[in-house]
Amino acid sequence: MDREHISKDKTILLRQKYIGPSCKLFFKSDPIKIVRASGQYMFSETGERYLDCINNVAHVGHCHPKVVEAGNKQAALLNTNSRFLHDNLVLYAERLAALFPDPLKVLFMVNSGSEANDLALRLAQAHTKQKDVIVLDHAYHGHVMSLIDISPYKFNHLGPDAKPDWVHVASVPDRYRGKYRDTEHSLDELSTLYAQDVEDQIQNIRSSGKGISCFISESLQSCGGQIITPPGYLREVYKHVRNSGGLCIADEVQVGFGRVGSHWWAFQLAGEDVVPDIVTIGKPMGNGHPVAAVVTTYEIAKSFAGLGVEYFNTYGGNPVSCAIANAVIDVIETENLRENATKVGNYLLSRFTILMTKYQLIGDVRGVGMFIGIELVKDRSTKEPATAEAKHAITRAKQEKVLLSVDGPNENVIKFKPPMVFSLEDADHLVNILDRIFGEIDDSRQVEKLTEKELIKRINGASMS
């Protein structure tokens, strides 16, 4: 349907009545109704066009015709489970394996990043015969129970007892706001210091007589605030983890499939010799279709099979999911989207960095490819998070038909991870809009000394204009 069936008010009413209230809307006091989308643009029921700067699932562009066609053709022909032989599954597996370094060659296909990370944990625990897991602070790995358990981003909000005793939290290697900072240390030192933090956790676990199943981290932390991992970090961490007998899991659900531009996978930013034992992939994999996967080594897959329990996933690896996933790789390659990510990403980073010279509000600009964070602060020396300002900025951007959102533990990081077809023109438009909005905020703060309450009032006034 290219139009509404019911009025927006009715949609909101039915949603309140029938959908679990834990499922949140963007801009919940004035949510957006979207009826169609194409490329990096989404269109409301009134025909307004929004520039999508945040949807890392619609990776090759919303409703890419080649991806849609591949899925549609296969859906009309066959869509069944992987207990039957089908070429789509094995040809996709072969193609995907070629995008990973040895020995990452064995695939398990599932329906979501959550299913992938859950299975990754099972693989690690089966292979090592250990349970304990080391995670990074603020990490988010998925919504099923096993992953809430290892996601400080979630369990930090569930009370002091929410962290299980087999989960161990290491500091996130955040050079700007973390335990160690780039104002005091070189990037190399940061890598070593933060890796030592993981090693300290390992020693804690060992001293209590337990072993380590795995270390899991997003290769670039997303929900935690668009953190750019110091280049040497994973190499050192993986060394520590392996010395302790643990496995290394790279969660590439949000950042994989070329988002970083220079490589297919963000862990590859650490160097060719840095290879995880297990990689999970998802969101961009099906451009919106529910498909995800675990990629691992033959040895680990064999340990898992050694449990003697079949792994059956009803839809995992069905011919439609594989046709769609295959078309996504086609488009990334034929439309040179990794090259585009590098070009547009670098351009944006340079323009955002120039904005930093204009606005004290911007505490940090960081990113790689189409993965960028702009961290807002009230004061550059204290780094007090500008949470209200960040919220205001995205609300104002929405009025300008630019979709952004905030993330990070202080909700003060504006995140940018758009469809990979985002263009230089889109980048200019985005920066110009943010320039105006940051100007409004900085003006309103610098003319007078305002209390936070007054600022919010002022901001709300501005957003009415």
Choose one: 20-28, 172-180, 204-212, 228-236; the region binding a second copy (CB under 8 A): 20-28
Sign of CA dihedral 387, 393, 396, 402: negative
- CA–CA dist 263, 257 (Å, integer): 8
Which residues, at least 6 apart from 82, have a Cβ–Cβ distance to it below 8 Å?
89, 109, 313, 316, 317, 318
* Shortest Å, Cβ 58 to a second copy: 7
Site for a second copy in 93-152 (CB under 8 A): 93-94, 97, 105-108, 111-115, 118-119, 121-122, 143-146, 148
Closest by CA position to 107, among listed 259, 268, 285: 285
- Quick one: 268 or 303, whose CB is closer to a second copy? 303
* Shortest Å, Cβ 14 to a second copy: 4
* Shortest Å, Cβ 415 to a second copy: 14
* Shortest Å, Cβ 417 to a second copy: 13
Choose one: 51-59, 224-232, 270-278, 430-438; the region binding a second copy (CB under 8 A): 51-59
The only residue of 53, 58, 190, 281 in contact with a second copy, by rule CB under 8 A: 58
Q: How many residues does the chain have?
A: 465
Please compute Rg for the chain using Cα positions. Answer: 22
- Quick one: 18 or 183, whose CB is closer to a second copy? 18
Choose one: 31-39, 385-393, 433-441, 448-456; the region binding a second copy (CB under 8 A): 31-39
C-alpha distance across the termini of the chain, in Å: 34
Site for a second copy in 68-97 (CB under 8 A): 68, 71-72, 74-91, 93-94, 97
CA distances from 38 to 21, 34, 75, 222 (A): 29, 11, 21, 24
* Shortest Å, Cβ 157 to a second copy: 5
Closest by CA position to 43, among listed 62, 24, 60, 30: 62
CA distances from 363 to 52, 54, 222, 410, 449 (A): 24, 20, 18, 13, 19
Site for a second copy in 288-317 (CB under 8 A): 288-291, 294, 296, 301-302, 304-305, 307-317
24 belongs to the binding site for a second copy (CB under 8 A): yes
376 belongs to the binding site for a second copy (CB under 8 A): no
Three-state secondary structure along 265-286?
Answer: CHHHHHCCCCCCCEEEECHHHH
* Shortest Å, Cβ 72 to a second copy: 4
166 belongs to the binding site for a second copy (CB under 8 A): no
- Quick one: 232 or 418, whose CB is closer to a second copy? 418
Closest by CA position to 86, among listed 290, 279, 319, 251: 319
